[in-house]
A and B are shown apart, each in its own frame.
Chain A
Amino acid sequence: MNKYGLIGLGVVLVIIGFAVKDQSWTRPEMFAGLELDLGKTITNIGVFLVFIPVITMYFYVPLKEAMDARNNELETTFTDVEQLRTQMQTMKSDYESRLSATEAEARTQIQSQIKEAQALRQQLVSEATERADTMIRQAQLEIDQEKAHAIATIRTHVVDLSLAAAEKVIGENMDSAKNRRLVEEYIDALEVAS
């Protein structure tokens, strides 16, 4: 029986209850102390048969629908939030992996630059050392040349002085026997050398 049938039956029972309310059988002596009135009972059954479907239609159904709608909305919201959270997690993982890759690349580049700098330093040091060695060798050569030149110059001066001294000696003491002998030996040595 649907709700409208119940309401109809309830109305009929209400009418019947009121119709029989003054009849003696509705108040059995057995329950006199409890004031049982079957007319009231029948009427009340009818009233409840109306009340229950009406309150169900008027209140329960809208309340249930509203609560279900709210629950569905909340579930949708939670689902959206969960999806957004998943997306955020994915993006976070993506960013973290990209950050890690960037850091690794940066480290590689830094290492590469350090290696290049070290090679350049090594090259510069080698070039500087080589240039220094060249300069030292050239200086040494120049020193040797200057030394040889100085020695030659000194020797020239010495010869000249020796010759001048010899000329003086020879000019003033040509008569001594010893000088005479020295000049003669020197001349002899020059002759042997030549």
Chain B
Amino acid sequence: MDSFLHANLPLAEAAKSEGIGWNIFVYSGLTFAIVFGFVALARKGLKGRVYTSLPTRLAEHLFLFLEGMTVNVIGPQGRKFVPFLLALWSFIFVGNLMGLLLPETPTADWSLNIAMAVITVVYVQWEGIKANGLVGHIKHFAGPKLGGAMVVISGLIFVVEIISELMKLVSLSLRLYGNIHGGHLVRESLDTLIAGIPLGGLLLPLKFFTCIIQAFVWTILTCTYLAIATAHGHDDEHEGDHGGHGHEPELAHA
């Protein structure tokens, strides 16, 4: 089995030994260039009352899609997070798409993915602190207020929640890395099965679908984290109006 893998995955082996290395900045730079190129084209079409240019219409649909998703998961107060989600979605999607045509993909590098995960988790914590205050945000990691000897349980919950928050870095980044890098490996393996016939091309529709799904998964998970982190402050603001919802995040919109 090991010899089969070595024989059929030469690019994977090469990647394992050398990796994309700092060439990732070429690919991520290309990704940013494509995103900004698309955005520049989309901006040109914003003049008219009706958006006729395809990039503008696509950008509008992307914005409406992300806004709808955010409002569904977080509520109307979640609209302020749309710029962050738009940036994440556009980079992940374009980065993933590059893997369909180019030999490397920025999102198949765990170092980059974990950077995006750090940005995401820090942003979520920052918004949670803004919504609940530093003490309120830290307190919510301990779960519901327990009295007496149950304080020990609160302490355990706090530790588990902190570990859970840290694991979000791993889960977010590894999921994207595994899907995109795994897709590359499968494609390259299929390409080498029969000499001269790029069978991996048959996976392009599936990989395209994966590109969309992975961008969507990252952004909707970010929405969920934001909803959980900011829901308490929102509940407190309207506790008098609604009679209080306890400390459950407002995910009823989802």
Residues of A that sit less than 8 Å from B by CB:
21, 31, 33-38, 40-45, 47-49, 51-52, 55-56, 58-60, 62-64, 66-67, 70, 73
Contact = CB atoms under 8 A, between A and B. Distances in A.
A35 B110 contact: yes
B83 A60 contact: yes
Contacts of B60: 63, 67
Nearest to B116: A48
A41 B28 CA distance: 13
Contacts of A55: 35-36, 39, 83, 86-87, 90
B32 interface: yes
Contacts of B82: 60
Interface of B: 15-16, 19-20, 22, 24-25, 28, 32, 35-36, 39, 42-43, 46, 49, 59-60, 63, 82-84, 86-88, 90-91, 109-112, 114-116, 118-119, 174, 177
25 contacts: A34-B177, A35-B20, A35-B111, A36-B111, A40-B109, A41-B112, A43-B115, A45-B115, A48-B87, A48-B116, A52-B84, A52-B88, A55-B36, A55-B83, A55-B90, A58-B43, A59-B39, A59-B43, A60-B82, A62-B43, A63-B59, A63-B63, A64-B63, A66-B46, A70-B49
Contacts of B90: 55
The DSSP consensus for interface residues of chain B is: helix
Contact of A52 (B19, B83, B114): B83
A59 B89 CA distance: 14
B251 to A, nearest CB: 25
Contacts of B91: 48, 51
A2 to B, nearest CB: 13
Contacts of A70: 49
Contacts of B177: 34
